[in-house]
Structure 1
Amino acid sequence: MSTLREKREMENKIKLDNIQQLHNAVLQFSNNTMEIKKLLVSVLIAFFTIVVAIDNKFETFADFHIIILSVIIILFWLLDAQSYYYQKKLRSRISKLQSELSESVKYEEVKTCKLVIISIFNVSMFIYWVALGIVLLLRVMVLK
């Protein structure tokens, strides 16, 4: 009886350690998403500075520049969405481990397809929507 109890306690200790490690990984992914957004803003500022320095006129903002801007924003968006996706996957794993430790915690697995869509189109991706909106406005201004 005692060995069964000790085995269960050891399994619970391992699960708690796994939860702590997964939590640390989630925090790291969370920090990475913020750094990705900061890097995007830096790249966009550098891009505009280079374009203005080379062209010396904002009116010559060409379709080529619009395409480059759009590609930069979309690549950062996908990179950020990937980090968000892995955060959600790790949180799901944490919930599963918590449900195994406690009967009061219910575990519901999220389908991968739904998780991908949630990762790409969530509120934390608002900066990319705004950036793409600005690019579209620039495109409309160039056409005038």
Structure 2
Amino acid sequence: MKDLTGLTADALDKEQIDQLHAATLQVSGNCFELKKLCATVLVAAGTLIATLSDRELDQALFVGGLVVVLVFWTADAQSYYIQAKLRGRMKELQQTRARRIADLHGYVADGVGIPINLPPARWRRIRHAFFNASMLYYFLVAGVLMSAWVAYGRGLIR
């Protein structure tokens, strides 16, 4: 059993920050993997839909592609939201630690490892999780699919 003599609130907070940081890194890695998996599933789904539709271009290809993008976009946004919450908690702990030390009275813990500016309202955080620079990949893929769908609908591609 660990000897807890001399354990301070500062040490406990630091340990919690370290654990939250490790969790944040894990979630961040998952976000990148989701983008790679999305591209893989898009190709596989497109191939399957094309095969099932006798290699004829039809709307099922565009709908299927957009559904795949939306599912992965939502999963990635959830991961981004979790990262933001973890970083926000890390910031709170770091500020608590700074308040304990008189010399750090003006210290600003704007994120730990990466600056984080969390919008205060929950719905703003959720919206920010879906629409940020990290989600540009999904926005672009969905835009290409929708543009192709419009071109198909107007008879520009067959």
Q: Same fold (TM over 0.5)?
A: yes
1:105-120 maps to which residues of 2 (within 5 A)? Answer: 105=108, 110-120=120-130
Map Cα deviations across residues 12-60 of structure 1 (whole Å, 9 max, x no partner): 1000000000000000100010010010000011122333444464xx3
Q: Does 1:22 align with 2:49?
A: no
Instruction: Note the aligned Cα RMSD (angstroms).
Output: 1.9
Separation of aligned partners in 2, 1:56 and 1:68? 16
Separation of aligned partners in 1, 2:46 and 2:59? 14
TM-score normalized by the length of structure 1:
0.84
Q: Which moved further from structure 2: 77-86 or 41-50? A: 41-50
Q: Which amino acid aligns with 1:13?
A: A
In structure 1, the partner of 2:80 is 84
Q: Which amino acid aligns with 2:84?
A: K
Identity, in percent, stands at 30
In structure 1, the partner of 2:103 is none
1:116-127 maps to which residues of 2 (within 5 A)? Answer: 116-127=126-137
SS of structure 2 residue aligned to 1:102: helix
Separation of aligned partners in 2, 1:10 and 1:68? 55
In structure 2, the partner of 1:42 is 40
Map Cα deviations across residues 89-124 of structure 1 (whole Å, 9 max, x no partner): 000000000000013235786322211111010011
Q: Looking at both structures, which has the greater relative contact order when contacts are Cα pairs under 8 Å and sequence separation is at least 6?
A: 1
Instruction: Looking at secondary structure, tell me which structure has more helix per residue.
Output: 1
Is the CA contact 2:34–2:72 (under 8 Å) kept in the aligned structure 1? yes
Separation of aligned partners in 2, 1:55 and 1:74? 22
Instruction: Identify unmatched segments of 5+ residues in structure 2.
Output: 1-5, 100-106, 111-116
Q: Does 1:132 align with 2:142?
A: yes
Q: Which moved further from structure 2: 62-71 or 34-43? A: 62-71
Instruction: Identify unmatched segments of 5+ residues in structure 1.
Output: 1-5
SS of structure 2 residue aligned to 1:61: coil
